[in-house]
Amino acid sequence: MLRRVIGYGGPYRTLIALVLVTILIITGLSLVPPLLMRSLIDGAIPAEDMGWVTRLGLAMVVVPLVSGAVGVLQRWASAFIGEGIIFDLRRQLYVHLQRMSLGFFTSTRTGELMSRLNNDVVGAQQAVTGTFVTLVSNLIAVVAVLVVMLQLQWKLTLLAVAILPLFIIASRRVGRMLRKVRRSQMEHNAEMTAHMQETLSVSGALLVKLFGRIGYEETRFSGNAGSVRDLGVRQAIIGRWFFMALGLASAIGTAAVFWAGAVMVINGSLTVGTLVALSAYLGQLYGPLSGLSNARVEFATSLVSFERVFEVLDLPLDVSQPAEPITMKSVRGSVEFRDVSFSYAAGNTGGLESVQRFTMRGVTEGDDGPPRPTSEALALTEVSFKVEPGELVALVGPSGAGKTTTTYLVPRLYDVTSGAVLVDGHDVREWDLLELARGIGVVTQESYLFHDTIGANLSYASQDATPEEIRAAAEAANIAEFIDSLPQGYDTLVGERGYRLSGGEKQRMAIARVILKDPRILILDEATSHLDAQSELMIQDALETVMQGRTSLVIAHRLSTILSADRIVVLDQGSVVEQGTHDELLAHGGLYAELYRTQFRAVEAGLAEN
């Protein structure tokens, strides 16, 4: 894992080299002041040389001035490296998550993903720009100070470093403790973020209010926030004890050197100036030694952030781009299901719960791996049917029959467990993912809109669309008149998830968006049963417009769609039980005839009366 972490510094080799050079310069300059004091005490003052004294005084001003200027350069370089690594990690995480299948997102809370993209990435950046610079700076400082101290008085130097085991023991013990606390903190922070995202979104806030669960959610949030608070207090206390131990070790070493040095001065084997210089170097020795001990602790805790980032990056892509994808200029529009079986359990990544947990020793913590699916029940079993270019095929069946699952497999939101889904005679797993997406348009049962303007939501289907093309799509979807009636027209904000619009308006917006995309294959889940009669009529008219000249696979909720279909595919418990036209299936007297009698006949009678 350390090699992998170091790899992120590759693009910033030049800046890292600059940081190392500035560290060397600053460390070298930090060695000068004690030598100046020694020269002042043992040389300039006894010689009563005011010119020497003046030069030494100027040098004491120039040294920190130059060191500060170099420090500014170092901070700029390290900040640039850190922010660059944040960008690289966030982008890599976001791109990887965008390529995960729909199953991953159905198993993962959005708040947890936000926590990984924000908190964990920042923690990983701190491991590089903060801990790394501190570690290298202190290491160089310790070596440099020891070299100078050995030149001044080797016996006292050996006495000063005799307490080194105390630093090592403290850092090892505290490092293990803080690492566990840090991981718990990040997990509870992710839990708190996920809870906030769920309950403070429009849908979540509405649900909480409608069911009167404000008090319950306050209690839940207080529990999560309280855990984060308690872990923060524990981390602070452990850190305080740690620094107290380091301070005690430094005090013991300093006292020992002062006592032995005083004895040597009294005996005449050491000058006062040398003892003063050694005492100054003691601070420069024990400070970096404490920093090295603390850096080990910080590095261990910072690596938790990298672990959590890598856990997500290492999640396998269950719907991946083929090595040699098929590239075609356009999609003709034929769709075929060939002995397709599908299980959600088999294709489920398990979300973030399935990620591997690292430790410093390279073994997993806690459980024995991702939770195994308790059931391998098939959502679809050996489904076979074909849709020719330009045909309209209606999917009909009782609730839970597998209709929506069938439509998910065409744009490859999931991959089949066995069999194959073919578009234009080629397995969708062989298609370039972007080309496949461009050739297929989907209107889902729940229309999603971004918190943006109407125009921006419509043009999401085609970034190059002109205002005239956007308006033409809106007119075809029977939504243009409504948009024109708004004070800000196409610049009107729709609110989060489009909550400022009614269900029918959102649905017509979704249809206009698909019209603007102009796909050859159209997949529709007619969500009109919960709308008023006027909205339902307008949406049905828009659907008939958008289906013209396209291959259409429709989950049919309306009798008019079923009657106009070239073929009806009847699904039950994940299997195709009947296929044919409306009249053929009625004559057969099977499941479709039963569904017609219970669900559609009353609608047909109502249409006849009108």
For residues 30 and 137, give the distance between their C-alpha atoms in angstroms, rounded to a whole number: 11
Has residue 374 been placed in a domain? no
> CA angle, 149 as apex, 144 and 151 as ends, to 5°?
100
Q: Which domain holds residue 558?
A: 387-609
Q: CATH number of the domain at 557, please.
A: 3.40.50.300
Backbone angles phi, psi at 385, to 5 degrees: -170, 165
pLDDT at 402 over 60: yes
| H or E stretch covering 132 | none
Among 289, 313, 337, identify where a domain stops: 313
For residues 460 and 389, give the distance between their C-alpha atoms in angstroms, rounded to a whole number: 26
pLDDT at site 352 = 61
Say which residue the tokens 């293990």 belong to.
Answer: 176
Residue 122 vs residue 515, higher pLDDT: 515
Has residue 349 been placed in a domain? no
Residue 62 vs residue 330, higher pLDDT: 62
What is the tens place of the pLDDT at every residue in 346-360? Answer: 655 555 655 544 433
Token pair recorded at residue 405: 């699952």
Strands 551-555 and 521-525 turn out to be: parallel
Has residue 342 been placed in a domain? no
What is the tens place of the pLDDT at every residue in 71-101? Answer: 899 888 888 888 888 888 888 888 888 888 8
Are residues 413 and 282 both part of a single domain? no
For residues 146 and 525, give the distance between their C-alpha atoms in angstroms, rounded to a whole number: 75
pLDDT at site 446 = 77
- From residue 296, alpha-carbon distances to 128, 135, 292 in Å are 13, 8, 6
Question: Is-contact 528 536, C-beta < 8 A?
Answer: yes
Has residue 147 been placed in a domain? yes
Are residues 177 and 299 both part of a single domain? yes
Single-letter amino acid, residue 317: L
Beta partners for residue 493, in sequence order: 453
Has residue 331 been placed in a domain? no
Backbone angles phi, psi at 569, to 5 degrees: -110, 120
Are residues 297 and 391 both part of a single domain? no
The per-residue pLDDT of the chain, averaged, comes to: 80
Which range, 61-65, 113-117, 532-536, has the best average confidence (pLDDT)?
Answer: 61-65
Say which residue the tokens 């039950």 belong to.
Answer: 572
Are residues 88 and 182 both part of a single domain? yes
Residue 335 vs residue 277, higher pLDDT: 335
Question: Is-contact 569 554, C-beta < 8 A?
Answer: no
Beta partners for residue 418, in sequence order: 341
Has residue 370 been placed in a domain? no
Question: Is-contact 85 128, C-beta < 8 A?
Answer: yes
pLDDT at site 272 = 80
Residue 111: pLDDT band with limits 50, 70, 90: confident
| H or E stretch covering 199 | helix 164-200
The mean pLDDT value for 398-423 works out to: 91
pLDDT at 603 over 70: no
CB-count burial class (<10 Å; 0-12, 13-18, 19+) for 529: exposed
Are residues 286 and 151 both part of a single domain? yes
Among 283, 313, 343, identify where a domain stops: 313
Are residues 260 and 175 both part of a single domain? yes
pLDDT at site 358 = 40
Smallest CA-to-CA distance from 25 within 73, 59, 89, 96 is with 73
Are residues 307 and 392 both part of a single domain? no
Backbone angles phi, psi at 555, to 5 degrees: -80, 105
Residue 377 vs residue 472, higher pLDDT: 472
Say which residue the tokens 């791109």 belong to.
Answer: 95
Task: Kindly give the residue spans of alpha helices, DSSP state H, lying in 369-487.
Answer: 403-409, 433-439, 454-459, 467-476, 480-485
Are residues 42 and 133 both part of a single domain? yes
For residues 518 and 506, give the distance between their C-alpha atoms in angstroms, rounded to a whole number: 19
Smallest CA-to-CA distance from 291 within 178, 137, 400 is with 137
Q: CATH number of the domain at 183, please.
A: 1.20.1560.10
pLDDT at site 609 = 46
Token pair recorded at residue 124: 């990983």
Are residues 401 and 302 both part of a single domain? no
Beta partners for residue 539, in sequence order: none
Are residues 441 and 307 both part of a single domain? no
Are residues 415 and 275 both part of a single domain? no
| H or E stretch covering 368 | none
Domain count, the chain: 2
User: Diameter of the chain by CA atoms?
Assistant: 122
Are residues 397 and 280 both part of a single domain? no
Helix (H, G, I), strand (E, B) or coil at 129: helix
Residue 401 vs residue 249, higher pLDDT: 401
Has residue 104 been placed in a domain? yes
Has residue 203 been placed in a domain? no
For residues 404 and 56, give the distance between their C-alpha atoms in angstroms, rounded to a whole number: 83
pLDDT at site 131 = 72
DSSP per-residue string spanning 583-604: HHHHHHTSHHHHHIIIIIHHHH
pLDDT at 375 over 70: no
For residues 91 and 94, give the distance between their C-alpha atoms in angstroms, rounded to a whole number: 5
pLDDT at site 332 = 85
Q: How many residues does the chain have?
A: 610
The mean pLDDT value for 550-579 works out to: 87
pLDDT at 400 over 90: no
Among 270, 293, 313, identify where a domain stops: 313
For residues 415 and 433, give the distance between their C-alpha atoms in angstroms, rounded to a whole number: 12
CB-count burial class (<10 Å; 0-12, 13-18, 19+) for 6: exposed
Report DSSP state, residue 55. Answer: H
What is the tens place of the pLDDT at every residue in 497-542? Answer: 777 888 788 888 888 888 888 888 999 886 554 555 666 677 777 7
What is the tens place of the pLDDT at every residue in 157-193? Answer: 888 888 777 777 766 777 677 777 877 887 888 788 8
